[in-house]
Each structure stands twice: as C-alpha cells, then as structure tokens.
Amino acid sequence: MGRIVVISTGGTIASRWQGTGFAADARGDEVMATAAVPTGIEVEVVDLFSVNSPRLTTVHQLTLLETVHQVLADPAVDGIVVTHGTDTLEETAFLVDLHHHDPRPVVFTGAQLPMDAADGDGPGNLHDALVTAATVRDLGVLIVFDGKVHAARGTVKTQTVAADAFADPSGNRVGDVGFGRVCVLQTPERSAPLPLPVQPAVAPRVDVVVHHSDGDPVLFNAAIDAGAQGVVLVATGAGNATPEFVDAVAAARAQGVLVALTTRVSAGAVTEIYTHGGAVDLVAAGAVPTGTLRAGQARIAVLAALLAETAGERRTEVLRALLGQPDGQAAAVALPDGEAVAAELPDAA
C-alpha cells in the first residue's frame, strides 16, 4: 500500500503515569509498537518532540509544518501520519491544512487513553490513520479518530474524555474507516494553500477574548496593550457583543490589529443580524467574521494571515481568503418574525 512517515509529537497516545498524573514521554517507535501495521505498509518514524499538547507553542507548530513539507519533498513517501495530543490537535491540523498543497494526505490522530491502558484507543486510531494515509488522495489534512475521518477545517474536540472525541458541529465527516478500508463520503472544502512561512524570530501574538453577560472590553484592550497583532473575539449568539466592543474593535483596527469574530455557540455560522453591538456593527468596525470556525481555528487563521503578510490591509484580504470569503457573499437570513435581512456570509468556511 505504500511508505508512510509517522511524525510523533507526544500527547496522550505517548503518555505514561508520572506519579500524580499522565504525561507524554514515550518515543515514536514505542508508540508505533503498540499498533498493528496494515499489510503492505512500510513505516518510518520521525521523533519530533514529545509534549502534552496544551504546552504546544507556535514554534512547535511551525516546526511540525516545516517537517511535513520536508518529508513530502521525498516522492517515495505516500503519506504522513502525525500523532498528536487531542487538546490542541484541531489547531495544529488546521495550520498544516492551510499550507498543504500536496495530493498526498497528512493524517492527524491521537488517543483519549494513555498508551499503557489495557483498553486504550491509541493503537486502533493509529492503525486507521495508517490505512487512511496510504489510500486517500486530494482530501487535504485529515483527522482520523474512533473509526471516523474528518476534515481539518471545522473539526474540533467535542468530548473531553470519550473515545469519539472529534466532530465538525456545523458539518459532516469526510468518511469512515473499517475492515481495513476507507469509505470517503465527501470531499472537504479548502482554501487555496499558503506558501510555507518563514519561522519568525518572535511569533505574532494572537489572543482570544470571550464575551459574556456583564462583559466589557477590558481584556480585549489588555491584549492590544500586551502587543497582540491579532485578536479573536468570541461573541455570543450569531456573533454579538456590545457597543463598547464595537468601539474597541474600531480602535484596534485603526492600530493595524487584525480582529476576527466568532461565537461561543457550538454550531452555525457567524451572521450579521443584530445591531446595538451585534455582528452588524462589529463587522462594520472591521472585525472579520469566521463563518463556522470556532475560537481555536479562528486564531490559527489569524496567525496564518499574520505570518503570510506584513501589510495591514493585505493581512485582512489573506484572512478573508482563508475563510473562503474574498469578497463576501450576500445571503438572506430569516428572522423569527419572518422578516429577512441581508447578511455577509462566507461561501466555504
């Protein structure tokens, strides 16, 4: 079936008991030894690092991105599997997908139970990821978990400890894995890939601020004061906050800060319906709505735009392109009373 390179980065799939809790400390070959390798697949292991994924930094993620490109420079490689902690897997996978231009797949997987668990899910997930990496093409970066194949874009961790940990709350999965085969159900929507970024001396700071009842822009403004070049505002409902946030967004944009607008609701697109501090006003002030991308992946999109461009307005254009909305697209949104309003929606986010 082919030659697959497994890049090991740590996470629960590489974790063992440390006396007070579990932490990643196993090498890639140890992780690989837990799984059955499908017939016909030759595996090569790259030990990149072994950390719990909440500790990952932009430097870690860009190092992995560069390693993926280096591995795929070898035409004898048929695909890549990345073993990764589940906490931030959705962020790293999306970053790699935004820069992935090769028909060969990069498949992320991991585990919810540590590698020494008798009923651990890591070996099965790793087996399924190998099958997927060896057989599919032109689907971009994928997440394989619990017998399901997900697109990187839009897929998030939806369960803290359950085996079926990942899903796209606003969309359908790409396929299923079973009996040593992959059944592809749909081709994921993807933006045009970005060129590989140069590793910066200091990574751009991108912060996430959540709105709530009684919320004010104090933390939003603190992020700007701390040097954030980008901020993701996690609003309520369809993307709503307060007039004070509108003013803060406008001031941030005047300073060249890139602002993205998402929602704390689990599913559905950010939609311009409400004023008085709602998405209508926030977008008018310069915030870029992120469609169905939630906070972690919205932050990655902002980070990728900042790494791709230095000019302020060009960064906004890049962000919109990554979100599938280079010019925006008018859509009718039905309100409860039947009245329709025009809304600016992404065509493929």
Indicate the pairing of strand 230-235 with strand 258-263.
parallel
Q: Which residue has the tokens 């230095």?
A: 310
**Structural element, H or E, at residue 58:** helix 58-72
Nearest to 48 by CA among 63, 58, 34, 59: 63
| Residue 273 phi, psi dihedral angles, 5° rounding | -120, -50
Contacts of 35 (CB under 8 A, 6+ apart): 122, 123, 124, 126, 127, 130
The two three-digit tokens of residue 335, written as one number = 């309100």
Q: Return the SS3 of 177.
A: strand
**Structural element, H or E, at residue 50:** strand 41-51
d(CA 100, CA 211): 33
Residue 236 annotated in ligand binding: no
Residue 25 annotated in ligand binding: no
**Structural element, H or E, at residue 209:** strand 206-210
CB–CB of 330/295 below 8 Å? no
Among the listed residues 9, 12, 34, 135, the single catalytic one is 12
Indicate the pairing of strand 141-145 with strand 148-151.
antiparallel
Q: Return the SS3 of 204.
A: coil
> What letter does residue 236 receive in the DSSP assignment?
B
Q: Which residue has the tokens 């509108």?
A: 246
Report the amino acid identity of residue 117. Answer: A
CB–CB of 315/309 below 8 Å? yes
Among the listed residues 34, 67, 83, 86, the single catalytic one is 86
Q: Is 12 a catalytic residue?
A: yes
The two three-digit tokens of residue 49, written as one number = 């690092």
In DSSP terms, 300 is beta-bridged to none
The two three-digit tokens of residue 163, written as one number = 């085996």
**Structural element, H or E, at residue 7:** strand 2-10
Residue 266 annotated in ligand binding: no
* Catalytic positions, written as ranges: 12, 86
Known binding-site residue numbers for substrate? 53, 86-87
